[in-house]
């Protein structure tokens, strides 16, 4: 398994990783009539989004997506994506990039209701080469609260994440040299690593 590309979030002039989502996903890519395919082992979903707030609205600012079509003989070729929100994607027929399509300045409004954890200042000592990194692995964490895609609140959660990080490292230290994990523990760890809910 491989660490996954994080979605990003541009907020107040800073770049953050999307490190937690309280209510499932921020959007369902199939609603855009897109069927992405894996771009590489670091992007099983086949797409990466940059989100932002335009006015007070939650939007997808940029979307990179890998779209392919079956050309017969078990061979797939890059496929140009549809126009979305009056934006035609930049199409990479030669696949010089991981993603065959890039939508810039998309400004696509999302109707999401719930919280989103934005994080930056990743702490390298806690890196694990699998899934998405949770918010407690970052120094600076902000929680944004949305209602029907409208920003309703902002809270600095850095202190709470620091406490979680301390508890995690202390619990690991108390265990000393643990026995190898069971198959069930490994499965649970993998599922948590790919789940951004909090």
Q: Residue 87: how many CB atoms within 10 A of its CB?
A: 18
Predicted local confidence at residue 52, as pLDDT: 98
Strand duo 14-21 + 114-122: pairing: antiparallel
For 131, which DSSP code?
A: B
Q: 43-49: long-range contacts (C-beta < 8 A, 24 or more apart)?
A: 43/4, 43/5, 43/98, 44/4, 45/4, 47/99, 48/5, 48/6, 48/7, 48/8, 48/99, 49/7, 49/8
Predicted local confidence at residue 158, as pLDDT: 96
| DSSP-based three-state secondary structure for 190 | helix
HSE (CB half, 13 Å, CA atoms) of 75? 4
* 159-175 pLDDT tens trace: 999 998 888 777 665 55
**In which element (H, E) is residue 81 found?**
none
Is residue 167 packed enough to be buried (19+ CB in 10 Å), middle (13-18) or exposed (0-12)?
exposed
- Block means of pLDDT (10 residues each) for the chain, 198 residues, are 86 96 92 92 93 97 93 80 97 82 97 97 81 88 97 96 83 56 61 63
Predicted local confidence at residue 188, as pLDDT: 65
The structure's pTM equals 0.81
Alpha helices in the chain (DSSP H): 158-175, 183-193
- CA torsion 43-169-189-196 (nearest 10°) is -50
HSE (CB half, 13 Å, CA atoms) of 82? 10
């Amino acid at each position: 398994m491989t660490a996954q590309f994080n979605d990003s979030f541009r907020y107040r002039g800073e770049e953050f990783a999307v490190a937690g989502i309280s209510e499932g996903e921020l959007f369902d890519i199939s609603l855009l009539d897109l069927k992405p395919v894996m771009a590489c082992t670091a992007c099983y979903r086949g797409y990466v989004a940059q989100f932002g707030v335009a006015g007070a609205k939650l939007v997808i600012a940029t979307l990179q997506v890998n779209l392919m079509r079956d050309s017969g003989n078990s061979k797939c070729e890059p496929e140009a994506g549809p126009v979305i929100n009056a934006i035609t994607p930049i199409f990479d027929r030669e696949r010089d990039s991981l993603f065959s399509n890039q939508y810039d300045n998309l400004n696509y409004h999302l109707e999401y209701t719930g919280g989103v954890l934005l994080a930056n200042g990743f702490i390298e000592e806690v890196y694990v080469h699998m899934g998405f990194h949770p918010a407690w692995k970052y120094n600076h964490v902000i929680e944004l609260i949305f209602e029907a895609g409208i920003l309703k609140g902002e809270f600095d959660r850095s202190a709470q994440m620091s406490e979680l990080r301390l508890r995690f490292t202390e619990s690991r230290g108390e265990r000393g040299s643990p026995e190898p994990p069971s198959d069930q523990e490994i499965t649970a760890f993998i599922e948590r690593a790919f789940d951004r809910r909090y």
